[in-house]
Amino acid sequence: MAEILLGLWWLPIPVAMIIVLRGWWLSSKISQYINSIEWVLLEIRIPKDNLKSIKSMEQVFTSLHGTYSQGIKRRERWLEGKVEDWISLEIAGFAQGVHFYIRTPKKYRKLVEASFFSQYPDAEIEEPEDYTALLPRDLPNDEFDIWGTDYVLARDDAYPIKTYVGFEQMLQFEEMTIDPLATITEVVSSLKNNELIWLQLLVRPLGPEWVAKAKGTVDELTGKGGKKGKGVLNSSVEFTGNLMKAPIIHPEWSEGGATPSVPDRLTPGKQDTVKAVEGKMSKLAFDAILRFIYIDKKNEFTGENVTAVSGAINQFATLNLNAFKPNMKTITIITKVSRLFNRKTNLLKRKKLLYEHYLYRDIAQPRPFRFRLKLKTSILNTEELATVYHPPLAMVSGGKLGVLETRKGEPPVNLPLIEE
């Protein structure tokens, strides 16, 4: 037997080669497909007196979910390298003003425009030059430095962040509205010369398969998917004993006993959590990455605006639900002790890679395809996405926001005509 095994020492080698070649093939096909996508950048300009609620932007995201392919077939994946298409929604802040952009595959341009015009009929959509081309592509360099990170959800995807509905409930007894983006747009509007703040929300539509995992979270919260019982014999003994004591005292069940947790026995806080998770499950969802880049000249670089934007992103947090946190695999600081010995080189490399991901609007792709930075997506539904990205409301449409000063109007219906 030993001789037979020794004679097959070479067998793992072709198996390993097949696995490696299989991964190389799929990665190269995915790369070819991504490089073949034709993109277009659109600037969205909304009238200064925009009174549309954030609910309108939620409807836009619902329409954009129409880009979903209904699932990539195995043949498409292996022969064409096809992946689910994605869209990038961006807020670019300069000393001269703040602008809202959408970068989309060209084949979805009409869908994007129709989605916005249906909710914002007075909007203007233009095709500008890519604003990222204003800077060299090799940042950081001798003149400019950057700070950046991707943001992901801090807890399981099933738990929602605080959305515009929650902000509105805070002010339900006051005759005013609150814009969750007001803090961010205020910071961006105060930039000085050479300062840049860029925010990127990358979204890729998801099918219904993620709901099954979210239902598992609900089952855990309600006790339906809890621990196994103690066995038939022990449970029977406990049940008989409690049955005899029931007329005198309330039965007491040990952990894993006969009485599971049920929704009506949940604490009020847990009931609210279950309701929030089920609410998230009820709406269309996307894989998403929130990316933040701050750029300034090296001799003027300050962390004040980084702290301000990070604080603004923290407003979407709730203690019992979810929040955004930096993806530590992308943040432009060195955290691993093993890399501290070559900190300057490693930090420069990470900054360049993150900036490159911003320029190319990269989103995490399925295995075995890998970027050099470990990108990660989180699941956000249409309500959450609209909270993070939407045209500014009239109350925050400051002088440096990229909005229309006047709204377009039709001529009066009773306008007299001049006959020639």
pLDDT of the residue at 87: 98
Return the higher-pLDDT residue of 16 and 153: 153
Q: HSE on the CB side for 179, CA within 13 Å? A: 21
pLDDT interval class at 9 (50, 70, 90): low
Nearest to 83 by CA among 163, 8, 26: 26
Domain ranges of the chain: 25-206+284-396, 216-268
pLDDT of the residue at 35: 93
**3-state helix, strand and coil shares in percent for the chain, rounded to the nearest 5:** 40, 15, 40
Tens digit of each residue's pLDDT (9 = 90 or more) over 250-278: 455 454 443 444 455 778 888 999 999 99
pLDDT of the residue at 5: 62
Tens digit of each residue's pLDDT (9 = 90 or more) over 313-349: 999 999 889 999 999 999 998 766 545 567 788 899 9
The stretch 413-419 carries a mean pLDDT of 46
CA distance 52 to 64: 18
Tens digit of each residue's pLDDT (9 = 90 or more) over 239-250: 455 544 444 444
Can you give the pTM of this predicted structure? Answer: 0.81
Nearest to 260 by CA among 228, 303, 216: 228
Q: How far is CA 411 from CA 45, 146, 397, 407, 418, in A?
A: 22, 49, 26, 13, 14
CA distance 185 to 93: 8
Segment among 150-164, 190-204, 283-297, 334-348 with least mean pLDDT: 334-348
Segment among 7-11, 26-30, 322-326 with least mean pLDDT: 7-11
Tens digit of each residue's pLDDT (9 = 90 or more) over 144-160: 999 999 999 999 999 99
Does the pLDDT of residue 363 top 70, yes or no? Answer: yes
pLDDT of the residue at 337: 55
pLDDT of the residue at 258: 39
The stretch 109-116 carries a mean pLDDT of 97
Tens digit of each residue's pLDDT (9 = 90 or more) over 45-101: 998 777 788 999 999 999 999 999 998 888 898 899 899 999 999 999 998 889 999
Does the pLDDT of residue 190 top 70, yes or no? Answer: yes
Write out the two tokens for 268.
């009020």
Return the higher-pLDDT residue of 27 and 352: 352
pLDDT averaged over every residue in the chain = 82
Q: Which amino acid is at 181?
A: L
pLDDT of the residue at 354: 96
Tens digit of each residue's pLDDT (9 = 90 or more) over 375-414: 999 999 999 999 999 998 765 544 455 555 545 544 444 4
Q: Which of 17-21, 305-309, 355-359, 402-406 has the highest mean pLDDT?
A: 355-359
pLDDT of the residue at 397: 47
CA distance 162 to 177: 16
Q: Quick one: what percent of the chain has pLDDT higher than 90?
A: 52
